[in-house]
Amino acid sequence: MANYHSTTRSNYFQVKDDAAFEQWCRSLRLRQLKNSKGEYAVFGGEDESGWPNFRRSESDREDQVIDFPQELSEHLHDDYVAVLMEAGHEAIRYVTGQAIAINSKGKSMVISLDDIYESAKGMAQIMTEAVY
Protein backbone atom coordinates (compact mmCIF):
# COMPACT_ATOMS: atom_id res chain seq x y z
CA MET A 1 0.00 0.00 0.00
CA ALA A 2 1.38 3.40 -0.98
CA ASN A 3 1.45 6.42 1.31
CA TYR A 4 0.12 9.86 0.48
CA HIS A 5 2.83 12.52 0.11
CA SER A 6 2.18 16.20 -0.40
CA THR A 7 3.75 19.60 -0.61
CA THR A 8 2.03 22.49 1.13
CA ARG A 9 2.67 26.19 1.41
CA SER A 10 0.78 29.43 1.83
CA ASN A 11 1.13 32.92 0.52
CA TYR A 12 2.44 35.65 2.83
CA PHE A 13 -0.01 37.29 5.23
CA GLN A 14 0.04 39.36 8.40
CA VAL A 15 -1.37 38.16 11.71
CA LYS A 16 -2.93 39.96 14.66
CA ASP A 17 -0.51 38.65 17.28
CA ASP A 18 2.90 37.26 16.31
CA ALA A 19 3.49 35.37 19.57
CA ALA A 20 0.04 33.72 19.55
CA PHE A 21 0.42 32.78 15.89
CA GLU A 22 3.87 31.28 16.39
CA GLN A 23 2.60 29.25 19.37
CA TRP A 24 -0.32 28.01 17.28
CA CYS A 25 2.09 26.95 14.51
CA ARG A 26 4.21 25.04 17.04
CA SER A 27 1.10 23.28 18.37
CA LEU A 28 0.46 21.96 14.85
CA ARG A 29 4.12 21.34 13.99
CA LEU A 30 3.94 23.79 11.10
CA ARG A 31 7.01 25.42 9.67
CA GLN A 32 6.82 29.17 9.19
CA LEU A 33 8.77 31.88 7.46
CA LYS A 34 8.56 35.61 8.21
CA ASN A 35 9.58 38.11 5.55
CA SER A 36 11.01 41.62 5.93
CA LYS A 37 7.48 43.13 5.89
CA GLY A 38 6.49 41.09 8.96
CA GLU A 39 4.29 38.77 6.89
CA TYR A 40 4.25 35.02 7.47
CA ALA A 41 4.06 32.02 5.17
CA VAL A 42 3.35 28.56 6.56
CA PHE A 43 4.40 25.15 5.32
CA GLY A 44 3.22 21.70 6.26
CA GLY A 45 5.07 19.47 8.64
CA GLU A 46 7.96 17.16 7.92
CA ASP A 47 5.69 14.13 7.40
CA GLU A 48 4.39 15.38 4.01
CA SER A 49 0.83 14.43 4.92
CA GLY A 50 -0.87 17.68 3.97
CA TRP A 51 -2.29 20.48 6.07
CA PRO A 52 -3.02 19.32 9.62
CA ASN A 53 -6.51 18.10 10.44
CA PHE A 54 -5.83 17.25 14.07
CA ARG A 55 -3.77 18.52 17.00
CA ARG A 56 -1.63 15.92 18.70
CA SER A 57 -2.38 15.41 22.35
CA GLU A 58 0.45 15.99 24.81
CA SER A 59 -1.18 13.56 27.24
CA ASP A 60 -2.74 10.14 26.82
CA ARG A 61 -6.01 11.63 25.60
CA GLU A 62 -7.13 11.38 22.00
CA ASP A 63 -5.88 13.79 19.35
CA GLN A 64 -8.17 16.75 18.73
CA VAL A 65 -9.78 17.08 15.29
CA ILE A 66 -9.46 20.65 13.97
CA ASP A 67 -10.58 22.81 11.07
CA PHE A 68 -7.17 24.12 10.04
CA PRO A 69 -8.30 26.96 7.72
CA GLN A 70 -10.84 28.14 10.29
CA GLU A 71 -8.23 28.21 13.06
CA LEU A 72 -5.85 30.11 10.79
CA SER A 73 -8.53 32.69 10.01
CA GLU A 74 -8.72 33.59 13.70
CA HIS A 75 -5.06 34.72 13.55
CA LEU A 76 -5.26 36.71 10.30
CA HIS A 77 -5.01 40.48 10.18
CA ASP A 78 -8.31 41.89 8.87
CA ASP A 79 -6.75 43.17 5.62
CA TYR A 80 -5.28 39.82 4.53
CA VAL A 81 -6.45 36.65 2.82
CA ALA A 82 -4.44 33.49 3.38
CA VAL A 83 -4.10 31.14 0.42
CA LEU A 84 -3.27 27.54 1.33
CA MET A 85 -1.99 25.34 -1.50
CA GLU A 86 -1.49 21.60 -1.43
CA ALA A 87 -0.50 19.15 -4.13
CA GLY A 88 0.02 15.49 -3.42
CA HIS A 89 0.10 11.98 -4.76
CA GLU A 90 -0.11 8.37 -3.75
CA ALA A 91 2.55 6.64 -5.81
CA ILE A 92 1.31 6.95 -9.39
CA ARG A 93 -2.29 6.13 -8.53
CA TYR A 94 -3.43 9.73 -8.51
CA VAL A 95 -2.34 13.33 -8.19
CA THR A 96 -4.52 15.68 -6.23
CA GLY A 97 -4.41 19.28 -5.21
CA GLN A 98 -6.39 22.19 -3.96
CA ALA A 99 -6.14 25.80 -2.98
CA ILE A 100 -8.13 27.32 -0.15
CA ALA A 101 -8.49 31.07 0.34
CA ILE A 102 -9.72 32.28 3.74
CA ASN A 103 -10.07 35.67 5.40
CA SER A 104 -10.14 36.78 9.03
CA LYS A 105 -13.93 36.41 9.18
CA GLY A 106 -13.76 32.74 8.22
CA LYS A 107 -15.13 33.23 4.70
CA SER A 108 -13.43 30.76 2.38
CA MET A 109 -13.38 29.36 -1.12
CA VAL A 110 -11.82 26.15 -2.47
CA ILE A 111 -10.52 25.23 -5.91
CA SER A 112 -9.57 21.61 -6.59
CA LEU A 113 -7.53 20.08 -9.41
CA ASP A 114 -10.50 17.77 -9.89
CA ASP A 115 -12.53 20.81 -10.98
CA ILE A 116 -10.88 20.42 -14.39
CA TYR A 117 -13.19 17.52 -15.24
CA GLU A 118 -16.30 19.67 -14.95
CA SER A 119 -14.63 22.58 -16.72
CA ALA A 120 -13.49 20.39 -19.64
CA LYS A 121 -16.88 18.76 -20.29
CA GLY A 122 -17.92 19.30 -23.89
CA MET A 123 -14.38 19.57 -25.27
CA ALA A 124 -14.64 16.04 -26.71
CA GLN A 125 -16.76 12.92 -26.33
CA ILE A 126 -14.35 10.97 -24.16
CA MET A 127 -12.43 12.09 -21.09
CA THR A 128 -10.95 9.62 -18.63
CA GLU A 129 -9.76 10.45 -15.13
CA ALA A 130 -6.08 10.68 -14.25
CA VAL A 131 -6.15 7.80 -11.75
CA TYR A 132 -4.88 4.20 -11.54
Residue by residue, pLDDT tens for the chain (132 residues) are: 688 899 999 999 999 999 999 999 999 999 999 999 999 999 987 677 899 988 877 765 778 899 999 999 999 999 999 999 999 999 889 999 999 999 999 999 999 999 999 999 999 999 999 988
| Residue 12 and residue 32 in contact, taking contact as beta carbons nearer than 8 Å | no
Q: Name the DSSP letter for residue 52.
A: -
> Residues in the chain, how many?
132
Q: Model pTM?
A: 0.89
φ, ψ at 127 (rounded to 5°): -145, 120
Report the C-alpha gap between 42 and 59 in whole angstroms.
26
pLDDT number for residue 1:
67
pLDDT number for residue 80:
98
pLDDT number for residue 60:
59
